[in-house]
C-alpha cells in the first residue's frame, strides 16, 4: 500500500456516506456458496493453500453483476449522470456498466483512484468493493478536493454475503486506525509518537 498523503485543508463542503444493501440474485448466490465451499474443502484436504485475496476476488466476481445492483445504481444516477462516477473492480462490471449507463463516467480503481482531478463530479457509486484502503481513500479524494463547490456523496453497494460485510468492516477499521494516528500526530511531534511506540 502506498503512502497516503493527507492535508489539513478543509473544504466548505461535506462528505456523505450512504450504504445501499442489495440481495444477490439467487443463482449467483448459489454460485458464490459453491465457490466458497470448494475452496474450503480443498483447503481442508490440503490439496491447495488458500490465497485469501484470490479466493475473495473469485467469490466477489461471481456476483458482481447482480441485477439489484443495477436497479439501485439507476435510481442513484437519475438526473445526475453528468456529476456521477461509478467505481468498479472487474472488467466484466465495467463493460456492463458502460452498456447500461453510457452517459456516466465508469472507471476502475486501478485506472482512476490516483491523481485525477474530478472535482466537477460530486457523487461516487462504489459498484464493486475493494479491500485496498489506499484505493478507496484516494478514489474519495478525486471529488473532495480544492475546487469542489457541492457536498460529496459516496454510495456503497453491499450484498447479503459475509464477504461484503468483511470488506466494509476492514475498510472501516483502517479508517479508524488512520484517524487515531492523525490524532496522535496532531498532539505530539512525530519523534514522540515513534518513541512512545517502543
Question: Given this model, what pLDDT does residue 75 score?
Answer: 98
Q: How far apart are CA 73 and CA 71, in angstroms?
A: 5
The whole-number pLDDT of residue 195 equals: 53
3-state secondary structure of 7: coil
CA-CA distance, 84 to 100, in Å (whole number)? 14
Domain 15-197 fold is: Rossmann fold (3.40.50)
Among 129, 123, 79, CA closest to 108 = 129
Nearest to 36 by CA among 20, 24, 21: 24
What are the pLDDT tens digits along the chain (198 aa)?
A: 444 555 555 778 999 999 999 999 999 999 999 999 998 888 888 777 778 888 899 999 999 999 999 999 999 999 999 999 999 999 999 999 999 999 999 999 887 656 677 889 999 999 999 988 888 888 898 898 888 999 999 999 999 999 999 998 888 877 656 666 666 666 666 556 555 655
CA–CA distance, 9 with 54 (Å, rounded to integer): 38
CA dihedral 147, 142, 117, 149 (to 10 degrees): -20
pTM (predicted TM-score): 0.82
Amino acid at each position: 500500500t502506498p503512502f497516503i498523503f493527507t492535508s489539513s485543508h478543509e473544504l466548505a463542503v461535506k462528505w456523505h456516506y450512504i450504504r445501499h444493501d442489495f440481495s444477490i440474485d439467487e443463482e449467483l448466490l448459489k454460485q458464490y456458496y459453491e465457490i466458497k465451499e470448494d475452496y474450503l474443502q480443498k483447503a481442508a484436504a490440503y490439496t491447495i493453500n488458500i490465497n485469501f485475496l484470490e479466493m475473495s476476488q473469485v467469490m466477489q466476481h461471481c456476483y458482481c453483476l447482480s441485477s439489484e445492483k443495477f436497479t439501485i445504481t439507476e435510481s442513484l444516477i437519475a438526473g445526475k449522470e453528468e456529476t456521477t462516477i461509478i467505481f468498479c473492480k472487474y472488467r466484466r462490471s465495467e463493460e456492463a456498466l458502460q452498456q447500461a449507463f453510457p452517459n456516466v463516467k465508469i472507471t476502475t480503481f486501478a485506472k482512476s483512484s490516483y491523481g485525477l482531478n474530478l472535482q466537477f463530479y460530486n457523487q461516487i457509486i462504489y459498484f464493486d468493493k475493494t479491500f485496498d484502503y489506499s484505493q478507496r481513500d484516494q478514489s474519495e479524494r478525486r471529488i473532495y478536493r480544492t475546487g469542489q463547490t457541492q457536498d460529496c456523496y459516496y454510495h456503497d453497494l453491499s450484498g447479503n454475503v459475509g464477504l461484503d460485510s468483511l470488506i466494509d468492516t476492514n475498510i472501516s477499521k483502517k479508517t479508524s486506525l488512520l484517524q487515531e494516528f492523525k490524532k496522535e500526530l496532531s498532539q505530539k511531534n512525530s519523534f514522540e509518537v515513534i518513541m512512545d511506540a517502543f
